[in-house]
Structure 1
Amino acid sequence: MARVRDPNLGWLKFFKIIFGEPLEKTTAFLSAWISYKPDDVVAAVDEVVDAVIDETLNFNRPIQFSDDLEHVYPIPFRKKERSLVPAKYLNSQQSKTGSNYLAYIVEQPEECDAKIVITVKSSADHFEHREAIRQSWAPREARKEDVQVVFLVGQGSDVINDEIKEEFFKHKDLVIGNYVDSYQNLTIKAMTGIDWRARNCHNAEFVLAVDDDTFVNLDDMMTHLQRLPEEENFIECSERTVTKGKVWREGQWAVSEDQYEFDVYPNYCNGPCYLMPVETADLLLGASRTTPSDHPADDVFISGILRVKTEVPLIQYTRTGAPGWCQELNNRKPRLPQRMVKEHLKKSQL
């Protein structure tokens, strides 16, 4: 039986952007011809198209951002990325192997009317980090009405848990989970944020995921949102994209071969900062229902594994060419809370 192709091919759309309407008849003919060819011919044509995008159109290159850019576009999804994800994650059988992440939540904000929801992954004992964020780039009294910031935390010692409860009743901006707050549970932590937003923030348009050592310039972010494509699924690596990321077998970020059998990950967004429309977040959340959540690195799981499973493209910038409104201050360096406030003061004086 002949394979039927979707006429709205991603590469066809981008050919038109580059070359305009004169190319339309040629690509329409090519699409019709492919529709009646066997899989091996389709694969060969796809490979040629990939090569054209790579070498001729230069469309599979990261964006070198500049303030005069009016629009940014995702790189077309490359189906060969699926070969970098183990089959156990890509399998979409009806039996649910993923998690109901809402079940992990024990305390959460009651209201959410914002258009932009920012979820901040925070270690349970990082009280000063969270307070620094409230006092710098996300103070409640100065926060824009269409932005809501929530902190994602798990369980620590009894003393820490008691302090977290006090913090919650004071600020009402924590999503508290009943999982152990550890590196191995980062994926659960991040996914509780996505699930909480889907259930509670019905007016949201974008979801931004950041770490608690990240400084966000909200004004610049709001301006940047106008550059993003409308009515398209994508994940924007707003700070940095990891390409050909190595799967570490030893050390803090070790992943066993049973968890991930390949040695290299598909491209994914570096954890401190990635952005997506809510439609994309909902798509990833749906895919997570049939995906094992055993990979500890949330950025790999969400912007790598789930993205590839749902064939969502990336908006990818060069290493030194990101938009700049999202800046990692690095938890491993000392005095981060003070540096967070200092960065805010510097930005506010510009």
Structure 2
Amino acid sequence: MKYGKHRFVLISILIILIVTVSGCGIILPFAKDKAPDRVSDLSAGSIFIDANEIRSQTIALLNNAQRAIFIELSALDDPEIIDLIINRSHQGVEVRILLDQWQRENAQTVKNLKNQNISVQYYPAQKGQYHRLRYMVIDYQVAVFYGQDWLQKFANTHTLAIKLTGNTAWSLAKSFAKDWQYTTTLALELPETINLPEDNISLALNGKVKQQILYAINQSTTDIYAEVEQISETETVQALIAAKQRGCRVRLLLSPSCAEGTPNTIKALKEAQIEVRYFKSTDNKTMNFNVGVFDNKTLIMSNSSWSYNTFVINHEGSLSIPSPHAVNKINSVFEQDWENSTPA
């Protein structure tokens, strides 16, 4: 008994000496500081707003490609861009394209491209599933992540695209190679590695899109605002209501089509005292915008709306970007759109 007491005292003295000599009080596991939040340096200039700017930036990147162009879209029928793709391929740039097999616009596009020996394939989605992943990769090291397809009918839309020049561009190149092999059973030859800076951007695909968005909602403590075509997936709606109940201000700017398409969801959100408004353009733009901002720190852009099909059935993607510059730009766009919107 006496020996045990002395042993306890000795161990206590040793711990005090170690803490004193080390000069810090965080050597014990339970006392470690919380890891600092990741921050992305994505610039405001990397965010492209509306169809005209996005299209012009896309054309410039296609013209600048030296080695490879990978395109993954739901649909494509823009004749100028199709001609440019054909020209770049004939100039020796490797071109690979994946499209959705269920979009009628693609039939003529695929025929025209194949007639010019362009490598274009339909992503093998199952019946009832749509291929909604939308991005382009240039030379394995620059990428653009899109909120809508390259279609003539989308020439005047309120939409969003994000240019990536960090390691997420390489992640998208590898993702494309994976989808290409899944589609064709043929492996693409990629560089072993591309030395790009860490951009602290998180790419989510398919079911992880929902996880990414739900995590952001559940971690928010002060403010959530989202400009999304539709929010109807049950867990997401419940998470937004829970965020409101714990003190977050929640503002949702949705497509006017939700009034008839998801009336029960709109009712539930309004009953929870969530601020809901409908997008209204001052220059007759239609809405293809799907982005949320959480605690004014992180934005999440998804290829499509926050619905069951997006989260469970379709081939989709999203980006989580903890960039103050990008958040500030989206904030200014949102506030302008909010001011012009109409109450739900």
TM category, shorter: 0.3 to 0.5
1 or 2, which has the higher strand percentage?
Answer: 2
Which of 1 and 2 has higher RCO (CA within 8 Å, sep 6+)?
1
What is the TM-score of this pair, normalised by structure 1?
0.33
**Bigger-Rg structure (1/2):** 2
